[in-house]
Amino acid sequence: MKQTTLNLIFHGILLLAATVSLFAEQTKQPNIILIMADDMGYECVAANGGGPYKTPALDRLAETGMRFEHCYSQPLCTPSRVKLMTGMNNSRNYTTFGELDRGQTTFAHLLKKAGYATCIAGKWQLGTQADSPKHFGFDESCLWQHTRPAKDKNRDTRYPNPHLEINGKPVDYSNGEYGPDVVSDFLCDFIEHHKDKPFVAYYPMILPHSPFVPTPDSADPKCRDMEKNFVEMVQHVDKVVGKIVAKLDELGLRENTLVLFTGDNGTGKAITSTLNEKPFRGGKGEMTDAGTHVPLIANWSGVIPAGKVNGDLVDFSDFLPTFCDAAGVAIPEGLTIDGHSILTQLYGQSGTPREWAYCWYRRGGGGKAAVWARTQRYKLYASGEFYDVPADPAEKSPLKNLNPDQEAVKATLQNVINQNLAVQGSALKKS
């Protein structure tokens, strides 16, 4: 009897210890990895119904995580980066192409204050000041197009024999190294060196932006077929994603790491893909879905339910509050954020999805901005055009004779546009 009682007590202690350990693991600050491809629209991921691309690593992340059907970026790279990093609509803080206003607060600032190690690797294009990455909260950096231009004597410097800047110091490669591989190796090294503390790794990829040239895996290293090269560049994107995930597996970090994959804007206009077996031409720089509808895949082993397809709207301003929510970091009082956290949806719960997304877009430092507000189905421009997007994805025929439901949606979206135009920040003042 005494031995039975002792056994029960012993097993009770083991169960309590296991419960405490599990609770500690669940409440531990997660690592965060955000991978953002350059000029790779929604149609470039096979799991989204896109072709002719083979994206097995991304498809596996979707199969074991969550795939979003309605994530919207800005139409161009710098505007998307500014919105994503600050959680604000461009109307509040966008200045001009290639620049992030130095007074802005980024997700790296907020997570670093909470004890995170921070890293950015890939394409910068947010200011040529030597201290820019550190100024915006990144401890370590391996960047292309930071203080130096994209070309050297008319040679693009991002792919073979890249010109990079590592932690602020220029490093030129000349032995056939491939820029995306160098950058992703740096990121993997960062992950390994910081495996024992929470980290955020932001990877705004160099791939698959033009020039569309062969990759190290191309069968024909001299191929000049632009679309064939683009397909192989997308497949190299997938290979690099697989390399990063494999590093997490190797280090035993998958269960405490939120991995997200997206794109900064639509695919270049020179590329025609298929989406659900129909031709789909890229629309980078345009306000249509071809320019702003981007992939979003989220994976967090044991946390995000496997195989989920989410139809909620996601806006690029949503990343910052989602990261803070996951890390248990409060948004500072007085900091205006337009984004909504989607952490509850990542947990597999319904949450409170946003009812609309908003886009205010201007490439340069002056001129009138293009503006729309949208639901999953309908889109209203500030100019008054109203579209049923699934029925008219190229937006050729604005709706005229609206039914009562469409009138109600249009009125809601008009109110969104009016309210946002009424609170314009520095961007409008500099027009």
What is the structure's pLDDT at 423?
Answer: 78
C-alpha 363: how far from its chain's center? 19
Express each pLDDT in 347-357 by its tens digit: 999 999 999 99
Task: Name all contacts of 26-30 with Cβ < 8 Å and 24+ positions apart.
Answer: 28/198, 28/256, 29/114, 29/115, 29/116, 29/198, 29/327, 29/328, 30/198, 30/256, 30/257, 30/258, 30/300, 30/303, 30/326, 30/327
What is the structure's pLDDT at 18?
Answer: 36
Please, is 166 exposed, middle or buried when counting C-beta atoms within 10 Å of its C-beta (0-12, 13-18, 19+)?
A: middle
Say if residues 101 and 53 touch (Cβ distance below 8 Å): no
CA-CA-CA-CA torsion sign (75, 379, 35, 53): negative
| Secondary structure element (H or E) that encloses residue 262, with its range | strand 257-263
Residues in contact with 371: Cβ distance below 8 Å, sequence separation at least 6, in sequence order: 358, 359, 360, 361, 381, 382, 417, 420, 421
Three-state SS at 240: helix
- How far apart CA 139 and CA 128 sit, in angstroms, is 17
User: What is the residue-level pLDDT of the chain in tens, covering all 431 positions?
Assistant: 444 444 444 444 343 333 333 333 445 899 999 999 999 999 999 999 999 999 999 999 999 999 999 999 999 999 999 999 999 999 999 999 999 999 999 999 999 999 999 999 999 999 999 999 999 999 999 999 999 999 999 999 999 999 999 999 999 999 999 999 999 999 999 999 999 999 999 999 999 999 999 999 999 999 999 999 999 999 999 999 999 999 999 999 999 999 999 999 999 999 999 999 999 999 999 999 999 999 999 999 999 999 999 999 999 999 999 999 999 999 999 999 999 999 999 999 999 999 999 999 999 988 899 999 999 999 999 999 999 999 999 999 999 999 999 999 999 999 999 999 887 765 545 44
**Strand spans (E) along 38-77:** 50-51, 66-72
What is the structure's pLDDT at 17?
Answer: 38
Express each pLDDT in 369-386 by its tens digit: 999 999 999 999 999 999
Q: Which two tokens stand for residue 258?
A: 């939120």
Q: Which two tokens stand for residue 127?
A: 């200011």
**Strand spans (E) along 61-147:** 66-72, 117-123, 140-144
What is the structure's pLDDT at 22?
Answer: 34
- How far apart CA 261 and CA 30 sit, in angstroms, is 16
Domain range list for the chain: 30-355, 361-429
What is the structure's pLDDT at 343?
Answer: 98
What is the structure's pLDDT at 155?
Answer: 95
Domain 30-355 falls in which CATH fold? Answer: Alkaline Phosphatase, subunit A (3.40.720)
pTM: 0.92
Residues in contact with 431: Cβ distance below 8 Å, sequence separation at least 6, in sequence order: 362, 366, 367, 368, 369
- How far apart CA 22 and CA 302 sit, in angstroms, is 12
- How far apart CA 287 and CA 291 sit, in angstroms, is 6
Query: Could you write out the DSSP letters of every residue in 309-366?
Result: EEEEEEEGGGHHHHHHHHHT-PPPTT--------HHHHTTS----BS-EEEEE-SSSS
What is the structure's pLDDT at 20?
Answer: 34
Q: Which two tokens stand for residue 339?
A: 């984004």
Please, is 308 exposed, middle or buried when counting C-beta atoms within 10 Å of its C-beta (0-12, 13-18, 19+)?
A: middle
What is the structure's pLDDT at 425?
Answer: 60
C-alpha 93: how far from its chain's center? 19
